[in-house]
Amino acid sequence: MNARFQAAVAGGGAVGLACALLLNRRCDWNVALVERSAPRETEGEGPQRALTLSPGAVETLTECGLSPGREDVPPSTRTRRPRSQEFRAHAFSRMVVWRGEGGPASGNSITFDAAELGARMLGCVAHEAPLRRALWNRAQECKGIRVYSGAALASVRIDEDCGYLDLDNGEEIGAELLIGADGAQSKLRSALGIEFRSTGYGQTGLVFEADCSEPGGDTAWQRFEDDGVLALLPLSESRMSIVWSLPDERAERLKRLDDKGLGAELNKAGAGVAGELVPVTPIASFPLRRGRAEQACGERYALVGEAARTVHPLAGQGLNLGLGDAEALARVCAGQGDALIGDARVLGRFARERAHYGEEMSFGIHAINAAFEGAMAPLAALGMGAVDRAPPLKRALAARAMR
């Protein structure tokens, strides 16, 4: 065996990195992190995925040592290069969700307003790549974290007093607690024989960016169409990230359109809420699936992020849930004392808390998706107006999404 740690994290996506940083910070543990592909230094030309972060997720990232800068400062007026721990995020304080033809007319929309909810913001929008890179830089700088970069997890073994990650470069890492943060296709999960039940929605998520003619960086928009969901998320005063969840065939058709054709479809669906929209990046597409691991922990292991569950992106919660897992795991471990590292009963407390919350969110997202399809659609439209006129219900929905 090459090295032994208190915890070893498989997967250096945003969730795995946050997990390593929080376990080191709150428990003072030595942590190993294994990632097969390090983030690139530059973002490149390709389309970038933007994510909506809840205020709770921003708090967790701040504890990890990140500082959200402002996305809307034009590059020419920036006076210095961003520091390694900075990622740019654009805060929004209003969200309008609507359904039906045309814009968000009264009766078929819900408006969430941060001021009404007593909050500073509802969330913020950030590109995933710089966010992950900032976390990566923090982990590299941290003395208690050893990053194994460029090596993939090949197999896993758990003995009575230690767990082992075997890497494809021949190295072996021993740790009292193994954490699977290696995404939806988790090798750690499959190596331990844990089943992952997953179903496709028959939908594809299209992601690209568009410039908008009406400045309105304070508001995020979400429209439920008969067969899809369009989200317009403000990246700056004049740029929106578009996340469009559509049946596979319609998504394929839109992907084949030229810029003019795509712009026409987008403006029709967007109903002019942000003025005219002009697509400015290529489209990235993602098949949409919902899934859950049969078991999120056991003796000497725990699963976090997409290794534990995947949810529909329409509520913008996947990463928020994963960061919540990282926070909860570090909190439970910090409260237990080092004699019980990796103890299944202790980890069970983490798993029960997250299963409850994860299922609630996953079910909620799934239910919204189902409610706005097919025969239920007119009922759902009525429901939206009713929710908008019921402040306690609206506050309850918002509070859940802002955690």
Ligand X SMILES: Cc1cc2nc3c(=O)[nH]c(=O)nc-3n(C[C@H](O)[C@H](O)[C@H](O)COP(=O)(O)OP(=O)(O)OC[C@H]3O[C@@H](n4cnc5c(N)ncnc54)[C@H](O)[C@@H]3O)c2cc1C
Binding site for ligand X (CB under 6 A): 10-16, 34-37, 51-52, 152-153, 181-183, 187, 205, 207, 243, 286, 305-306, 313, 316-320, 322
Q: Report yes or no: 265 and 206 within 8 Å, Cβ to Cβ.
A: no
The smaller minimum CB distance to ligand X, of residues 13 and 216, is found at 13
The smaller minimum CB distance to ligand X, of residues 55 and 313, is found at 313
Tell the smallest beta-carbon distance from residue 304 to ligand X (Å). Answer: 7
CA-CA distance, 238 to 111, in Å (whole number)? 21
**How far is residue 265 from each of residues 109, 145, 234, 250, 352, measured CA to CA in Å?**
21, 48, 19, 11, 44
Q: Using CB atoms, what's the residue nearest to ligand X?
A: 13
Tell the smallest beta-carbon distance from residue 80 to ligand X (Å). Answer: 29
Tell the smallest beta-carbon distance from residue 317 to ligand X (Å). Answer: 5
The smaller minimum CB distance to ligand X, of residues 135 and 274, is found at 135
Tell the smallest beta-carbon distance from residue 313 to ligand X (Å). Answer: 3
Tell the smallest beta-carbon distance from residue 211 to ligand X (Å). Answer: 20
Sign of the alpha-carbon torsion through 362, 365, 368, 369: negative
Tell the smallest beta-carbon distance from residue 28 to ligand X (Å). Answer: 23
Decide the pairing of beta strands 86-92 and 123-127: antiparallel
Q: Residue 400 burial by CB count (10 A; 0-12/13-18/19+): exposed, middle or buried?
A: middle
CA-CA distance, 14 to 22, in Å (whole number)? 12
Secondary structure (3-state) at 100: coil
Residues 6+ away with beta carbon under 8 Å from 7 = 20, 23, 29, 30, 31, 32, 175, 176, 177, 178, 179, 333, 341
Tell the smallest beta-carbon distance from residue 364 to ligand X (Å). Answer: 14
The smaller minimum CB distance to ligand X, of residues 183 and 358, is found at 183
The smaller minimum CB distance to ligand X, of residues 12 and 216, is found at 12
Angle among Cα 194, 197, 198 to the nearest 5 degrees reads 135
Q: Report yes or no: 94 and 122 within 8 Å, Cβ to Cβ.
A: yes
CA-CA distance, 317 to 315, in Å (whole number)? 6
Torsion angle of C-alpha atoms 186, 187, 189, 191, degrees rounded to 10:
170
The smaller minimum CB distance to ligand X, of residues 15 and 64, is found at 15
Whats the size of the chain, residue-wise?
403
Tell the smallest beta-carbon distance from residue 289 to ligand X (Å). Answer: 9
The smaller minimum CB distance to ligand X, of residues 13 and 69, is found at 13
The smaller minimum CB distance to ligand X, of residues 306 and 388, is found at 306
